[in-house]
Chains A and B, each alone.
Chain A
Amino acid sequence: MEVNKGKTQIEAVQKDIWAPEYFGDNPDLYNVHEVKRLVHLAPVEKVLNMARAHSIWPLGFGLACCAIEGLMAAQGPRYDLSRFGYEVLRNTARQADVMLVAGTVTTKAADFVVRLWEQMSEPKWCMAIGGCAISGGPFVDSYHVVPGVNKLVPVDVYVPGCPPRPDAVLDAFLMLRAKILDKREYLQRSKGKVVTG
């Protein structure tokens, strides 16, 4: 498009959102100020992160088999995710902190997976649970499957398994906690270790 020449990528995207058919061709609307996605104040951030890391609210959104293990059984009485403070399943994306992509993402579903991700407010994290969400799993050859959710959204934690055991999902939550708290030693320790089911 002519209008977007020489502008940064973010502005080009904003141009698409501020479509002229809705907002007229007022030039001011094209030149919106670039908003920093995250405002960093290091000491404050550290305190905030402690709060964030200990009450992650997952988005209650299951795609396939892994949702039974990763969402329901992990919430169930034996594995009991609420021990860590992660049990508040939010059914709307706007209140959630972490999106658990539990299952196969198909091309028909890809649209709304991205839309849900976009609806979530910052800061936000994403977990790919199970082989299908990591790489397409056994369905990678199919004509209707996205080979891995990382083609669509950035992923923080990968949980292998088909489906992973609930313990593996608990471990993934703890790894996410370490990631938010920036505990490198913790992550280093579990490097190369795989808990699967």
Chain B
Amino acid sequence: MTTDRRFPVRLDLRHGTVDMSHGAGGRAMAQLIAEVFQAHLDNDLLRQGNDQALFTPPPGRLVMSTDGHVVSPLFFPGGDIGCLSVHGTINDVAMAGARPLYLAAGFILEEGFALQDLVRIVVSMAAAANAAGVPVVTGDTKVVERGKGDGVFITTTGVGVVPAGVTISGDLARPGDAILVSGSLGDHGVAVLSRRENLGFEVKIASDTAALHGLVAAMVAAVPDLHCLRDPTRGGLATTLNELAHQSGVGMRIRESAIPVHPAVAAACELLGLDPLYVANEGKLIAICPAARAAELLAVMRAHPLGAAASLIGEVVADPHRFVQMETAFGGSRIVDWLAGEQLPRIC
């Protein structure tokens, strides 16, 4: 990076911390943006330095989504809040069957936050955005007083475009449809929990955080008449299936033995008294499609690295109560209910 005449002394990225001046709109803020955000997230639109990004959308219907990220701890096995904030929003856009185009990012920093950690987070965001081919083209930074934030909060907004002929929505599940998941459940939630200060336990589980738009593109190309797509983030598979059942006015029947769960995740959940069905994921999706297309969809998913462990876990049924029922690994049955209250406070 060339030296910027406005800032004769570079930020001390190794020992420095965020202070109120970094959010005050003056020179300090300009320097933080230049040396931390622009330095790493660099792209043509961002470089223009405007308060907005101006671009011509490709033809098609636009999709827009926004998501706030408040994970604790900020760094966890397999990722951090930076890549998470990129993946999360890309996935929300992709779950409409869309190709994500651009991201916007808003940062709320707490006074006293180490610049070193901020850089680490921004570098991780940049790497995630680059790998996904979805640049961060505009942003915003605010600083709050010490004690009024939790280090850093990141809100990302994404836009994308849906290919012609694709209509994917949570209210389109129909009795008889097949329900598929793209891989093992609960990895993200358990990875994050394992690093909680007061919980710290040893697991060899990394967060599954990943951008799923490539997988979605392959799925949509093969089976354009997909009915529903959703990423089971907070609240896990159970919550997502309940949402879809509710939106579509149907019931669901799933088989516990078909649901992929990593043994280490199952063990950690056992220890903590949690149910993996409710634990968060950041790189998995649930797909609902006409039964006749299920085998083809499953094959396409398994052929993609992010869907290698995909599984057909059940089917949509008619049920005025909109219950999600599960045949347990034991052969008994039970409801998989909405989560009551907050079982895992703030894991994504």
Chain A complexes with chain B: no
B residues neighboring A (CB under 8 Å): none
